[in-house]
Chains A and B, each alone.
Chain A
Amino acid sequence: MTQWMIKTGASRYGLAMWYFLAAALLLAAPLFTSDFRLNLLAKFLAFAIAAVGLDLLWGYTGILSLGHGVFFGLGGYAMAMHLKLQASGGRLPDFMDWSGLTKLPWFWMPFQSFGGAVLLGMAIPAAVALFLGFFTFRNRIRGVYFTILTQALVIISVTLITGQQAFTGGTNGITGYGQILGHSLAAPETKLALYYVTAGVLLATFVLARIVVKSRFGKVLRAIRDGENRVRFLGYDPSRYQMGVFVLSATLSGIAGMLFVLHVGIISPSMMGIVPSIEMVLWVAIGGRGTLIGAALGALLLNGAKSAFSESYPDIWLFFMGALFIVTTVFLPRGIAGLAVDGWRKARRIVRRRKEVPEHERKGYSAV
């Protein structure tokens, strides 16, 4: 479960070229797609941000979280609360009115400003992750135990938000807003701008994740995945690193959630439940955990497939998704990226044999 990209002499330039190509593709996409498709693509790009974050945690550090839907949702709620307050224009949001509230709850106050909402959309997921991480990693609660606790986190978050209807909008979630910073969310220009924002954030996330992964910090993360105790006897405190990457990962999910709300216009408990949380894991698994590009592509591919199939055949989609889980974990533990690298290596080997290039040129690998 590692990095399978082969580093050649020109890798740095090659990599820069790939980044450039990806950026160009993202930049040019609006020229070729309809507004509807563009909006869809923007949503998928937001998912890809979350996928990269989850991959840092699972693919690189070996910690599986089934609770990232919560962080995604918390980010989404932060943004939605701001938009709702804007739409209500100084009055109480409609659902509070229906529930008989007369005053805006105190914890809604900071969301009146856009900056505050964005900040909290990152800080709240980070804080929740820090809380859970602090009380688990320090006590060496890990592996399956940690995973199960994250799933419990999902259950309680969903129950809590659903139950506190007056404060959170309950099952319906928070919706019914049309403007961001004075621009209509429905207007094509706004949509285009939001698309670019999302694409930009995704690229930035990617660069950030790459820096993290390539740094010594990233090597410690991979070392923790290989043998947490050994890391400890080298003098590192794994729990700090685990907390660090968990918080980073949760923050990225929160950002993804905020962007998601801007594209979709609603956030509700069902979008942060058990199924969406585990779907995020599937993106990473399919794409290839332990490779950043795999995680991002997995999110795009799977969601593309989902929107193509699930609208017309929702039943078949669920069967398909279940089967995907089984097939990937049993037969394709390294996902599509692993498959691609194997193919690439095989092809190189064949080319090599023809040219009879000496073997020693095959060197290590980088973490892409």
Chain B
Amino acid sequence: MSGKAILQCKDVTVSFDGFKAVQGMNLSLEASGLRFLIGPNGAGKTTLLDAICGKVKPSGGSILYRDGIDLARRKEHQIAELGIGRKFQAPSIFPTLTVEENLELAMKQKRGILATLRAKLAAAERERLAAQLETVGLAGRQRARAGSLSHGEKQWLEIGMLLLQEPSLLLLDEPAAGMTDRETEKTGELLQEIAKDRAVVVVEHDMEFVRNFASLVTVMHEGRLLMEGTMDQVQADDRVAEVYLGKRREAAC
């Protein structure tokens, strides 16, 4: 790996009541670029993201961010403040807030009590909000309650929120789930676009999607790193075929 890594996971282990969902995973990310994380069910992909964003605490190993900030010692909101954004599988927006309010809260800003008590939407912020609404296709819906949006619209709203957060590292869990083909296409293009100046990790099951947009793919199996490479390399790899399809070599994808 060349260049400076923004994230370095070393021997990360996460266990739930004795069961090790991630065991000794290694992952290194550069400051920009799109990385797909794939692997069969139960490989520990989501758990790894959880460990990076602080939702679960690793029981071993280290997760170093930027200049050696140990994320395992930080709380979720601190990690988010450090510039790590996370999208969960199910759309999680604030249903009783309006679309606009959802975006306003997500915007990069001071997040202390006193700051939010005084905060006013500045003209520049208003413009950014409007631009973001345009990007995610929700212009004109800004005053609608987020809970009243369709599933796809909620996904887009959440992506919009993540972008306004201006993260340096974005962790996405199946962002295209439940989207139409056209929307999936749009999502992929958007991801490539934003990955130009930040690191983006995408957990994905849709191999079609991965093939279309991936440059680098990391394959996980049973909580460990199985291999890393381009999609072509991954597809040609015997071990990958084996974990996905069982022992029979001839059935490679």
A222 touches B94 (CB 8 A): yes
Q: Contacts A223-B105, A240-B113; is A215 near B145 (CB within 8 Å)?
A: no
Residues on the A chain within 8 Å of B101, using CB = 219, 222-223
Asked if A363 CB lies within 8 Å of chain B CBs, one says: yes
Q: What is the bound-complex CA distance between A225 and B94, given in angstroms?
A: 9
For the complex formed, measure the closest distance between the CB of B111 and the CB atoms of chain A, giving whole angstroms: 5
Return the contact of B77 from the options A1, A232, A244, A363 (Cβ within 8 A).
Answer: A232
Chain A residue, CB-CB nearest to B95 = A226
**How far apart sit A318 and B165, CA to CA, in the bound complex (Å)?**
52
Q: Does A147 contact B (CB under 8 A)?
A: no
Note all chain A residues with C-beta closer than 8 A to B77: 232-238
A sample of 20 cross-chain residue pairs with beta-carbon separation below 8 angstroms, ordered by A number, consists of A216-B105, A216-B117, A217-B117, A217-B119, A219-B101, A223-B94, A227-B94, A229-B92, A230-B93, A231-B105, A233-B76, A235-B81, A236-B111, A237-B111, A240-B112, A241-B113, A363-B143, A364-B100, A364-B144, A364-B145
> B185 at the A/B interface (Cβ < 8 Å)?
no
Partner of B80, one of A212, A217, A219, A234: A234
A91–B97 alpha-carbon span in the complex (Å): 57
A226/B80 contact (C-beta < 8 A), A234-B105, A364-B143 known: no
Check if B133 is an interface residue, CB within 8 A of chain A: no
Give the interface SS of chain A, mostly helix, strand, loop or mixed. Answer: helix
Q: Are A1 and B143 in contact (CB under 8 A)?
A: no
Given A217-B117, A363-B143, A364-B144, A232–B96 Cβ distance below 8 Å? no
The answer to the question of A220 belonging to the interface, with a C-beta cut-off of 8 Å to chain B, is yes
0/1 per residue, A324-368, Cβ < 8 Å to B? 000000000000000000000000000000000000000110000
**Which A residues are CB-close (under 8 A) to B144?**
364
Is B233's beta carbon under 8 Å from chain A? no
A112 within 8 A of B: no
Cα A241 to Cα B92 in complex, Å, equals 20
Q: Number of A interface residues at 8 Å Cβ cutoff, please give it.
A: 28
* B15 proximal to A (CB < 8 A): no
Give 15 A-B pairs besides A240-B113, A364-B100 with Cβ atoms closer than 8 angstroms: A2-B145, A215-B118, A215-B119, A216-B104, A217-B117, A222-B94, A223-B101, A226-B97, A232-B77, A233-B80, A234-B111, A234-B165, A235-B111, A235-B165, A238-B77
- Is there contact, CB below 8 Å, between A226 and B94? yes
* Complex contacts, A227 vs chain B, CB 8 Å: 92, 94
Write out the residue numbers on chain A whose beta carbons fall within 8 Å of the beta carbon of B113: 217, 240-241, 244
- Return the contact of B97 from the options A217, A222, A235 (Cβ within 8 A): A222
B158-197 residues at the A interface, CB under 8 angstroms: 161, 165
A-side residues, CB < 8 A to B, are 1-2, 212, 215-217, 219-220, 222-223, 225-227, 229-238, 240-241, 244, 363-364
A363 CA to B143 CA, complexed, in Å: 6
Q: Does B106 contact A (CB under 8 A)?
A: yes
B86 contacts chain A at the CB level, 8 A cutoff: yes
B75 at the interface (CB under 8 A from A): yes
B59 an interface residue at 8 Å Cβ cutoff? Answer: no
Cα A240 to Cα B93 with chains together (Å): 21
Q: Report how far A301 CA is from B85 CA in the complex, Å.
A: 47
CA distance A225 to B119 in the complex (A): 20
A217, B102: Cα distance in complex, Å: 13
Check if A233 sits within 8 Å of B96, measured CB to CB. no
The answer to whether B86 touches A233 (Cβ under 8 A) is yes
- Asked if A232 contacts B76 (CB within 8 A), the reply is yes
In the complex, A238 Cα to B76 Cα: how many Å?
11
B98 within 8 A of A: yes
B22 on interface, CB distance cutoff 8 Å: no
B111 near A223 (CB under 8 angstroms)?
Answer: no
Instruction: Assess whether A212 is in contact with B117, with CB atoms less than 8 Å apart.
Output: yes
| Contact of A230 with B80 in the complex, beta carbons under 8 Å | no
Report how far A216 CA is from B145 CA in the complex, Å. Answer: 17
> Is residue B202 within 8 Å, beta carbon to beta carbon, of the partner chain?
no
Q: Which residues of A contact B111 (CB under 8 A)?
A: 234-237
Docked complex Cα distance between A232 and B161 (Å): 14
List 9 tightest A-B contacts by C-beta distance, closest first.
Answer: A364-B143, A235-B80, A226-B94, A2-B96, A216-B119, A216-B116, A217-B116, A235-B81, A232-B76
Distance in angstroms between the alpha carbons of A216 and B114 in the assembled complex: 10
Chain B window 198-216, contacts with chain A (Cβ cutoff 8 Å), 1 for yes, 0 for no = 0000000000000000000
Residues in B with CB closer than 8 Å to A212 are 117
Chain B hits for A236, CB < 8 A: 77, 105, 111
Interface positions of B from 123 to 166, Cβ below 8 Å from A: 143-145, 161, 165
**Chain A hits for B98, CB < 8 A:** 364
Taking CB atoms, residues of chain B closer than 8 Å to A215 are 116-119
Contact residues in B for A223 (Cβ distance below 8 Å): 94, 97, 101-102, 105
The answer to whether A220 and B116 touch (CB under 8 A), given A2-B96, A226-B94, A227-B94, is yes
Query: How distant is B25 from chain A, measured CB to nearest CB, in Å?
Result: 21
Q: Are B105 and A219 in contact (CB under 8 A)?
A: yes
Q: When chains A and B are docked, how far (Å) is the Cα of A230 from the Cα of B81?
A: 13
A233 touching B94 in the complex, CB below 8 Å, given contacts A212-B117, A217-B117, A244-B113: no
